[in-house]
């Protein structure tokens, strides 16, 4: 166990650890129909997720008639209220996620979350699913204040500060995650089963996995044979 190359692994939430698409999709459609817009098929919502709740709503409005900046703040709160009340009706860990988290913990690895979802919503979701205790820290898109969320590196720097880690890797599914990890000088693994806003192989990650069964061996390979200079950077 001692030869594992990282003492902390951080995760994005939506589309990485948890498949939240249906619950987010219902909340998005609730907001859209409240202003007379058409609903978006749930299978199409995945492509709209990324960058936080406000960005998802902006994407949904753009698709159904255009973004109205005047009503966007109030409509965002309407979406959030519905989502909070129905936060885990369909949401689950991706296949292999529980075993992967157990294996990392058994190796003594500290687990953390850095998500552009609001911190209160992230904690409520993890609480509802009984997962909060697994993570040393949960950092949301609003935790550090305005203009600090991914793809900026501030959240990942804070994650490292809070955990006291010496070698950290990050796992995500979008350009927001890869961009933040690159800016923070961290190795990053992309999951192909998430809400990828570009083809997984084009995200710029050090590696792409198709199932959580592959995460630990992939991290071992990257950690011992870093493909890019940034992958061996220690903060």
Task: Copy the structure tokens of residue 135.
Answer: 């993570």
pLDDT band for 230, please (50, 70, 90 cuts).
very low
pLDDT tier at 231 (50, 70, 90 boundaries)?
Answer: very low
What pLDDT is stored for residue 232 in this prediction? 33
What string of H, E and C letters represents the secondary structure of 177-192?
A: HHHHHHHHCCCEEEEC
State mean pLDDT over 116-132. Answer: 97
Q: Which of 12, 19, 177, 197 is catalytic?
A: 12
| Distance (Å, whole) CA 116 – CA 53 | 8
Cα–Cα distance, 42 to 46 (Å, whole number)? 8
The Cα 180–Cα 164 span in angstroms is 19
Residues in the chain: 235
Q: Is 169 exposed, middle or buried (0-12, 13-18, 19+ CB in 10 A)?
A: buried
Question: What pTM does this model have?
Answer: 0.91
pLDDT digits 0-9 by tens, 176-229 = 999 999 999 999 999 999 999 999 999 999 999 999 999 999 999 999 876 544
Structure tokens at 88: 């885990």
Active site residue 127: no
| Rounded-to-integer distance, Cα 121 and Cα 54, Å | 13
**Which run of H or E residues covers position 138?**
strand 137-139
Report whether 51 contacts 99 (CB < 8 A): no
Flag whether pLDDT at 53 surpasses 90.
no
Does residue 8 sit in helix, strand or coil?
strand
């Amino acid at each position: 166990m001692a030869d594992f190359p990282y003492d902390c692994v951080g995760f994005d939430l939506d589309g990485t650890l948890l498949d939240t698409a249906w619950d987010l999709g219902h909340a998005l459609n609730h907001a859209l129909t409240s202003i007379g817009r058409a609903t978006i098929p749930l299978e199409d919502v995945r492509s709209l997720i990324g960058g936080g709740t406000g960005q998802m709503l902006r994407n949904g409005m753009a698709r159904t008639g255009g973004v109205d900046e005047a009503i966007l703040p109030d409509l965002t709160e309407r979406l959030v209220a519905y989502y909070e009340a129905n936060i885990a009706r369909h949401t689950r860990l991706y296949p292999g996620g529980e075993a992967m988290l157990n294996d990392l913990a058994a190796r003594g690895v500290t687990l953390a979350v850095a998500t552009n979802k609001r911190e209160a919503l992230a904690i409520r979701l993890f609480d509802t699913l009984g997962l909060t205790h697994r993570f040393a820290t949960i950092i949301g898109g609003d935790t550090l204040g305005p203009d600090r969320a991914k793809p900026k590196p501030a959240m990942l720097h804070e994650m490292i500060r809070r955990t006291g880690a010496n070698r950290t890797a990050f796992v995500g599914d979008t350009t927001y995650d890869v961009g933040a990890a690159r800016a923070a000088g961290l190795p990053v693994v992309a999951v192909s089963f998430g809400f990828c806003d570009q083809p997984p192989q084009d995200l710029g990650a050090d590696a792409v996995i198709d199932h959580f069964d592959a995460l630990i061996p992939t991290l071992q390979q990257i950690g011992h044979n870093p493909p890019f200079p940034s992958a061996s950077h220690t903060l």
